[in-house]
Structure 1
Amino acid sequence: MTYRRSGDDNLLVEFGPMQLDLALRMRIHALRDAVTAADLDGVTDLTPSIRSLPIQTDPHVLAQHQLLVKVREITTTLPPTDALVVPSRRVRLPLSWDDPATREAIARYLAGVRDDAPWCPWNIEFIRRINGLESVNDVYRTVFDAEYLVLGLGDVCLGAPVAALDPRHCLLTTKYNPARTWTAENSVGIGGAYLCIYGMEGPGGHQFVGRTTQVWSPWQRGAFEPGAPWPLRFFDRIKWYPVSADELLGLRADITSGRFVPRIEEGTFSLAEYERFLAEHAESVAEFRTRQQAAFAAERDAWEAAGEFARAEAATAPVAAPDEVTVPEGGRLVEAEFAASVWQVNVAPGDEVSAGGRCSRWRR
């Protein structure tokens, strides 16, 4: 575990290495629940992510050093990782494959950002190629056969990052570089090892596979519970079913009015059962990953031969050399624990500063 100070009102707790690991995600979830149950005065928000938990506080009520002591104590009470079981609903959502809205976003990218990107003119063909699949139909079957576990909420423009439970369904891609300037609301795409649903219209970089219904709504009707503008929950398992582009438009109108509610089945997700599944299919998973890694390496070599990486290096702005800091006689250099922008200085040379006095104002 690593504890990091994050500004003057956040403590960042991190588990394990920087990689996609469901065991780490479930441990973060257990810590979130334990901190919530402790009902600590001064804790204002908890935002669990894949392997980290930012804990936001009111520093006037709960100082960070006090919070650190309490969180360390709470961590010792967590159950063993392989004993973790969480509520996990199966949620069936419609997916318009290769939706016209995604095609329009690609066309805008070609016209206004970059017309020679390796992932254009068709993201799905790029996904096929970089994963070593024989046809785009294999991409289609993989996406619709998969179950995707919801790992985060609110990321990717009010959307949800999800991961395929079966590693043989985990398609890998790079992201757009430079990014798109426009993405239609509720587009669905793959970036890295994650499949993401864009909760709102905006920029983006994930490789498109289609479009779905709303995963964020201020009206909170039908599928949206009162007080929760999002219908998904942590550890929901999303299962896609195909619909046409016209059918999707109708469903999008119906979910806004409350007439359409996705089919949801209650259930649980056990880490021990999942690890037994991985062990049972270890050989075929290894074969899939070997083929996938070979295709990824071949794509990278093709990029290098085409000058893609030289292009990226040429576009990198030069980094200015750091200024030397001269410490005046009688002074002392204080190194900041994190980067920030100082927007107001409240003292001048020669002023006397008392303990607890404000010297400046800053923001991260």
Structure 2
Amino acid sequence: MSDTVTLTNPARYTWGGDEFLFVEIDEAMSLAANFTANAMAGHLTAEEVDGVIDICPANASLLIRFDPDVLPHAQLEERMRRIERAVEGLSHPTLATRVVEVPVWYDDPYTGATGARFRKGHQRPDGNDLDFAAEENNLASAAEFIERHHSSPWLVSMVGFVAGLPFMFQIVPQPEQLEVPKYLSPRTDTPALTVGHGGCFACIYSVRGAGGYQMFGIAAAPIFDPHQKLTDFADFMVFFKPGDIVKFKPIDEAEYERIQIEVEAGTYVYRQASVVFDLQQALADPVAHNRHILEALDGV
């Protein structure tokens, strides 16, 4: 996590063929770099520029697809550099967003059984992912790791890899961040809605498939709904977007099964609240900032 708001170097602009502009904010992920990428993407979206086809913000960069017959390369780069300067000039960077509660059955039998099938490709063949994660973070037990995992909020830094999968960055001082290496050899199977972790990033696998992140539990409700059956997906089949804030809520098997019934009936709704992410406060006093975020959710 960066301890300053201002980035030391200007963004790097490179072209991908005739239709893509890649803007690299920083080489390393930080709250400041991610805020800049999302803020620049937000400015460009708001300007509704003819010729811009798609805008894809990532952890510390953004990719813009455009039609060069409508929007010349030089004009797009000039506009983006102006937007970059405007974002850098913000005296108090904030982002109007939402905090979402995500129920998770930690240490569940589904990810446990999958992990057991792939121990040969793991750093700790004789254990499980949670025990390994606890050891890697010098914690006394898997229970302590789970407590650390769900007690602080996470910022959705980007969405991708597969449809609807959010990458999340823990909003805590860098020495307190949970970090766990990926599997030595990727799995060919991961249960849908697995809560995983690789490096400093958490994720939720939106669909079943291959993966290499450590597995800690399973989320109870969909985050990708191509049939848009649930109310939360009325506008779009992907639930999360960059800038969202996630608060994991530990649940037991009974609560997990209750939520499954609601999901099947089409009545489940995520608990969420509108909040303002304050970059300066998150960097200067993350404890107070996180308390403010969680109080908004508790007030729902």
The count of residues paired between Structure 1 and Structure 2 equals: 277
State the Cα deviation string for residues 20-71 of structure 1 (Å, max 9, x = none): 2111111111111111122221110001011101000123322323322222
Shift of 1:81: 5.0
Shift of 1:122: 0.1
Q: Which residue, out of 175, 178, 181, partners 1:174?
A: 181
State the Cα deviation string for residues 326-361 of structure 1 (Å, max 9, x = none): xxxxxxxxxxxxxxxxxxxxxxxxxxxxxxxxxxxx
> Equivalent residue for 1:162?
168
State the Cα deviation string for residues 97-148 of structure 1 (Å, max 9, x = none): 11111112112213xxx26642653001110111111222210210121211
Kept in 1, the 8 Å contact 2:57–2:242? The answer is no
Q: What SS does the corresponding residue of 2:158 show, helix, strand or coil? A: coil
> Equivalent residue for 1:245?
253
TM-align CA RMSD: 2.3
> Equivalent residue for 1:259?
267
CA distance in 2, matches of 1:7, 1:245: 50
Which is worse superposed, 262-271 or 215-224?
Answer: 215-224
CA distance in 1, matches of 2:226, 2:288: 44
User: Aligned pair 1:19/2:25, yes or no?
Assistant: no
> Equivalent residue for 1:211?
218
Shift of 1:228: 0.9
Kept in 2, the 8 Å contact 1:30–1:78? The answer is yes
> Equivalent residue for 2:192?
185
CA distance in 1, matches of 2:97, 2:122: 42
Runs of 5+ in structure 1 lacking a partner? Answer: 282-364
> Equivalent residue for 2:236?
228
CA distance in 2, matches of 1:228, 1:278: 32
> Equivalent residue for 1:350?
none
> Equivalent residue for 2:75?
66
CA distance in 1, matches of 2:126, 2:106: 17
User: Aligned pair 1:96/2:102, yes or no?
Assistant: no
User: Aligned pair 1:134/2:143, yes or no?
Assistant: no
Point out 4+ residue stretches in structure 1 off by more than 4 angstroms.
278-281
User: Aligned pair 1:5/2:11, yes or no?
Assistant: no
User: Aligned pair 1:118/2:129, yes or no?
Assistant: no
| TM-score (normalised: structure 1) | 0.70
Shift of 1:225: 3.6
CA distance in 1, matches of 2:122, 2:78: 53
Aligned CA distance change for structure 1 residues 218 and 115 (closer, same or farther; 3 Å): closer
Q: Which residue, out of 141, 149, 154, partners 2:155?
A: 149
Q: How does 1:49-64 map to 2 (within 5 A)?
A: 49-64=58-73
CA distance in 2, matches of 1:189, 1:82: 36
State the Cα deviation string for residues 223-251 of structure 1 (Å, max 9, x = none): 42423112223322211222223532442
Q: What SS does the corresponding residue of 1:262 show, helix, strand or coil? A: coil
Kept in 2, the 8 Å contact 1:217–1:256? The answer is no
Runs of 5+ in structure 2 lacking a partner? Answer: 1-10, 290-300
Kept in 1, the 8 Å contact 2:163–2:238? The answer is no
